[in-house]
Amino acid sequence: MLLQLILATGNENKVREVNEILADDFAGAPIRVRSMKSVGISSDPEENGTDFEENALIKARAAAALLPPAADETARAEWMRAQGMDPADALVVISDDSGLVIDALGGAPGIQSARYLGRDVGYDVKMAHILEELRGLPQEQRSARFVAAIAAVLPDGSGLAVRGTMEGRISKEPRGEGGFGYDPILFLPEYGLTSAELSPEEKNAISHRGKGMRLMLKTLRERLAL
Q: Which residues pair with 170 in a beta bridge?
A: 186
Nearest to 144 by CA among 188, 193, 85, 198: 188
> What is the biggest distance separating any 2 CA atoms in the chain, rounded to whole angstroms?
63
In the structure, what pLDDT confidence band is assigned to residue 1 with cuts at 50, 70 and 90? confident
Q: How many residues does the chain have?
A: 226
Cis peptide before 189 (omega within 30 of 0): no
| List of residues 6+ apart from 118 with CB closer than 8 A | none
CATH topology classification for 3-223: Maf protein (3.90.950)
3-state helix, strand, coil in the chain (%, to 5): 40, 25, 35
Q: Are β-strands 90-102 and 159-170 bridged in parallel, bridged antiparallel, or unpaired? A: unpaired
Domain boundaries in the chain? 3-223
Residue 200, pLDDT score: 87
Rounded to 10°, the helix 208-223/12-25 angle is 60
Could you report the per-residue pLDDT of 164-217, keeping only the tens digit for each? 999 999 999 999 999 899 999 999 999 999 999 999 889 988 999 999 999 998
| List of residues 6+ apart from 124 with CB closer than 8 A | 174
H helix intervals, 26-67:
52-64
Residue 84, pLDDT score: 93
Catalytic residues: 97
In the structure, what pLDDT confidence band is assigned to residue 152 with cuts at 50, 70 and 90? very high
